[in-house]
A and B are shown apart, each in its own frame.
Chain A
Amino acid sequence: MNTTNESQDDVELMLPWHAAGTLSRRDAKRVEDALARDPELARRYDLVREELGETIRLNETLGAPSARAMDNLFKKIDGEPARRALPRLDLAARFSEFMAGFSPRTLAWSAAAAVLAIVLQAGIITGVLLNERTPGSGYQAASAPATAPADGSYAMIRFAPQASASDITGFLEANKLSLAGGPAAGGLYRVRVGMTGIPKNDLARIVRELQQDKTVDFIAAVQ
């Protein structure tokens, strides 16, 4: 009972962000569902939308600064010490700039091609593994084990909908993670957390810490 009330209260607190369109997809769905089944909440949501409209209107009446602001700024910049443009070695920033150079349509086709490549690659790997596991089929070295242990420790991750490409590259770089596969169903990616097998408890702790990052919508360790 209390949990239900808390959940309703939480939904009501989120109404302003829902009206402004700044909730995550998951929270927006929660609010939509609550609005559909609760007429009183829907009435309160109308009040929120009214406030939103008037706040925008009020701010739009505030006008704009004169050209003086920009003139002052560039006079001050002229007075700053000269800055030499250094060659940038920041890989994440260069990647962001590179990605920003493509149109959304190009990016969409590239993503589709990447997914297709991963699916094909997965198919080939599965085929090879099945072949290896079938007695008498295919070449097998006498000295090699039938299955090699997988290197590294992995997690499945779904990034927050509002995370930008630079957020994601920054997050991966800061936490020394690398993408190992995906996207799979539900927008999940496989990321390598460590080069070697990390003990289960340590991996769980690392995943809990990563979950705190706002770039992350969902993360779970995989064995």
Chain B
Amino acid sequence: MQTTSDEVLIGRIAGGDRLAMQVLFARHHVRVYRFVLRFVRNEATAEDLISEVFLDVWRQAGKFEGRSAVSTWLLSIARFKALSALRRKPEQELDDATAEAIVDTADDPQRALEKKDKGEILRKTLSALSAEHREIIDLVYYHEKSVEEVAEIVGIPEATVKTRMFYARKKMAELLKQQGVDRGWP
């Protein structure tokens, strides 16, 4: 089973091929949506933003030079759109589901351990990180981006990518410790 490469699809989109656009959208829209949702924390806003992201792809396809993977290009556009949306709505409130997901520091460690397994605490800690730290962890672990690709998407030097990832993990370890989960690192 062979699939048309993203680069070929972009070439066809540049020529006005709507079907190629549908294929590219079907292939990437869920990941782009999740990436954006972790920024804006609002499902309706995230849906609007992915339409804008792919509309930009439709408009800019002819200028795509293929210097990076198409998925990296998509996430770069998505990040820009998400940050712009957050700047437009600084008062953006967290939706209930996300707010609930954030670690409740009122629980004492023992109680937290009793009612949640370690994996659940870890996932809630991931949600409680700053946007900067959440973003880098998602890009590396979920979107499988290399150091070079993260540097391109976030617009920071490669050395900073590595140290930012390290500090994100360190912060996560600190939050876990507050929840009674001591992993013996750092």
User: Cβ of B153: which chain A residues have Cβ within 8 Å of it?
Assistant: none
A84 to B67: give the CA distance in the assembly, Å.
25
Interface majority SS (helix, strand, loop, mixed), chain A: helix
Residue of A nearest to B120 (CB): A54
| Interface segment out of the listed A55-63, A131-139, A194-202 | A55-63
Query: 8 Å CB contacts to B: which residues of A117-172?
Result: 162, 164, 166-167, 170
- CB contact under 8 A between A55 and B55, given known A13-B163, A69-B47, A72-B48: no
Interface contact A57-B183, CB-CB below 8 Å: no
How close is A109's CB to chain B, nearest CB, in angstroms? Answer: 15
Interface residues on B, range: 35 or more
Shortest Cβ distance from residue B125 to the other chain A in the assembled complex, whole angstroms: 9
Interface of B is mostly: helix
B-chain residues with CB within 8 Å of residue A14 when the two chains form the complex:
162
Residues on A facing B (Cβ under 8 Å): 10, 12-14, 16-17, 19-23, 43-44, 47-48, 50-59, 62-66, 68-70, 72-74, 76-77, 80, 82-86, 88, 90, 92-93, 96-97, 100, 103-104, 162, 164, 166-167, 170, 214
| Interface CB pairs A-B, < 8 A, 25 | A12-B166, A13-B166, A14-B162, A22-B149, A43-B184, A47-B185, A48-B169, A51-B122, A51-B169, A51-B172, A54-B123, A55-B137, A55-B138, A59-B138, A62-B37, A65-B30, A65-B43, A70-B25, A70-B51, A73-B51, A80-B58, A93-B7, A93-B11, A96-B7, A170-B67
